[in-house]
Amino acid sequence: MSPKSSPQREVFVSRGAFIFAAIGSAVGLGNIWRFPYITYENGGGAFIIPYLVALLTAGIPLLFFYYAMGHRSRGSAPLAHRMAHKGAEPIGWFATGVAIVIGIYYAAIIGWAGSYMFFSLTEAWGDDAEGFFFGEYLKMGDPGISLEFVPGVLIPIILVWAVVLIVLLMGVQNGIANFSKIFIPLLIILFLALVVRSLFLPGAAEGLNALFTPDFKALTDHKVWIAAYGQIFFSLSIAFGIMITYASYLKKKTNLTGAGLVVGFSNSAFEILAGIGIFAALGFMAAAQGVEVADVASSGIGLAFVGFPTLISEMPGGAIFGFVFFACLVFAGLTSLISIIQVPIQALRDKFRVGNKASTAWIVGGMGVVSILLMPTVTGLYALDTMDAFANNVGIVGSAIMSIVVVGWAMRKLPVFSRHLNAVSSFRLGPIWMTLISITGVVLVYMLITQIITFVSDGYEGYPPLITGVYGWGMIGLLVVGSIILTLIRWPKETIDEMEAAIADSVAEENLRTENKGA
């Protein structure tokens, strides 16, 4: 393709297709294994109050912010930031880099879940789920950096990248949208079946009591409120380019705020459903072992690959239950991973005028190679855990802060975005929305400073400085440098002309809608 030719811009054919894709992005692994434990640790049923406050005051307002940025510019994260102001472009590249990092390790977790779907059928872990996962399956070595591969982990990760490549090569509508329209309903059906099965297990009531019994004293602890904002922030797939990219594929006249409300509340509904299913199952596990729910409650990788296999071995029909649980992890992970990878794909298309299939092949191929070199090794878990902690707590939070401060405050784009949203949507926004975005920025600054102080003073998980230096601080430093270098590369004139034309069309539409409403 000629450098000056224009790659055809893909679109979602309907708002429904966009909503399914956006829900598929938001509903990921964190909904299933992070929310229940965060709720349990932060006041139980009382946590729902700060959680809903965070959803309404931060999660949904930020969705609107990024929707407006992407839809108005019709561009990727770097281009959307650049069209807000030239000085903001590095923020878009940094967000794109964070998406790349997350995609690299996310594929590994999906590969593990795929393996465990079939391990569940025979309960391959035997009587020692922990020893099987860390020893026999991952073959974990001492903390460090190694290229000693584990074939049993390598093959599933390769298969994950193959599936992702096929879906993305099919395009935005035929690939992403159709994949989400099939697998999100399937995920919900399977997870509902899992929840219903969990509710009829002996001890399920004790698990639900442990989760939902409110501790209203917890509401006076600022850390509980920060945890609520953190959960909403991380679970909605905001601040690393996904929602900017997806919104850029929408037609000119699309109800953005209505879509944002559907996505936000659907994500939260799934999280609450996950909490019910997970803690009903943990209640059974505690009863079977004769211990308290607190003794078996955990989150993340430990819950999924140690806690649940132990549960599966103890419950009637555990093999089928386990297969469904890990199938849910695979489906939720794939829909999220596909959205994550689309961020750098669109950035490459915009900046270098690369065709749709070529950009997909380059990005998926490049990310896949790095993922296959790092993750299926005897030290892969150390890399994954560190990258996850720094990408989420420093990368994503830092990206959101920079967008709010530079684009929202310094460049004063909040009124512009509000005007755009109001021109194309039924639910109108005004000063309250802009105030909520500003308050969210302050909360995120507190979260980032607190986390950086913790990482600097305490390190991470007791890992050697080599690991945190390479996969943590080194990764963040590489993203910053890469963002600056990519910003220095000039945009093709054709791309800028197209984006300026898109914004001119948006301004004209905004003016027309304003005049009509005034009349």
Q: Is the pLDDT of residue 426 over 50?
A: yes
Q: How many angstroms separate the CA atoms of 269 and 195, rounded?
A: 13
Whether the CB-CB separation of 312 and 322 falls below 8 Å is answered with: yes
Apex CA 242: angle with CA 240 and CA 243, to 5°? 110
Q: How many angstroms separate the CA atoms of 336 and 240, rounded?
A: 12
Residue 2 is predicted with a pLDDT of: 42
Q: What is the pTM of this model?
A: 0.94
Name the burial class of residue 398, with classes exposed (0-12), middle (13-18) and buried (19+) by CB atoms within 10 angstroms of its CB. Answer: buried
- Residue 195: closest CA among 208, 213, 181, 180: 208
Q: Over the range 15-44, which residues count as b (16 or more CB within 10 Å of their CB) and which as e?
A: bebbbbbbbbbbbbbbbbbbbbbbbbbbbb
The arithmetic mean of pLDDT across residues 451-462, rounded, is 95
Q: How many angstroms separate the CA atoms of 120 and 322, rounded?
A: 5
**How far is the CA of 394 from the CAs of 139, 268, 350, 477, in angstroms?**
29, 23, 26, 11
Per DSSP, the three-state class of 406 is helix
445 confidence band (pLDDT: 50, 70, 90):
very high
Tokens of 160: 């994950």
**Average pLDDT in the chain:** 92
- Residue 10: closest CA among 180, 291, 251, 352: 251
**How far is the CA of 362 from the CAs of 165, 271, 347, 349, in angstroms?**
10, 34, 12, 11
Q: How many angstroms separate the CA atoms of 262 and 17, rounded?
A: 13
The arithmetic mean of pLDDT across residues 359-382, rounded, is 97
Q: How many angstroms separate the CA atoms of 18 and 25, rounded?
A: 10
19 confidence band (pLDDT: 50, 70, 90):
very high
Q: How many angstroms separate the CA atoms of 95 and 388, rounded?
A: 14
518 confidence band (pLDDT: 50, 70, 90):
low
Stronger pLDDT, 143 or 7, i.e. the higher one: 143
Residue 190 is predicted with a pLDDT of: 94
- DSSP run (H or E) holding 192: helix 178-199
Name the burial class of residue 194, with classes exposed (0-12), middle (13-18) and buried (19+) by CB atoms within 10 angstroms of its CB. Answer: buried
Q: How many angstroms separate the CA atoms of 323 and 272, rounded?
A: 21
Q: Which residue has the tokens 């005004």?
A: 430
Phi–psi pair at 139, nearest 5 degrees? 55, 50
Residue 517 is predicted with a pLDDT of: 60
Residue 1 is predicted with a pLDDT of: 40
Q: How many helices (H) and strands (E) does the chain have?
A: 25, 0
224 confidence band (pLDDT: 50, 70, 90):
very high
Whether the CB-CB separation of 460 and 376 falls below 8 Å is answered with: no
Q: How many angstroms separate the CA atoms of 55 and 221, rounded?
A: 18
Residues 6+ positions from 363 with CB-CB distance below 8 Å:
341, 344, 345, 348
Residue 515 is predicted with a pLDDT of: 67
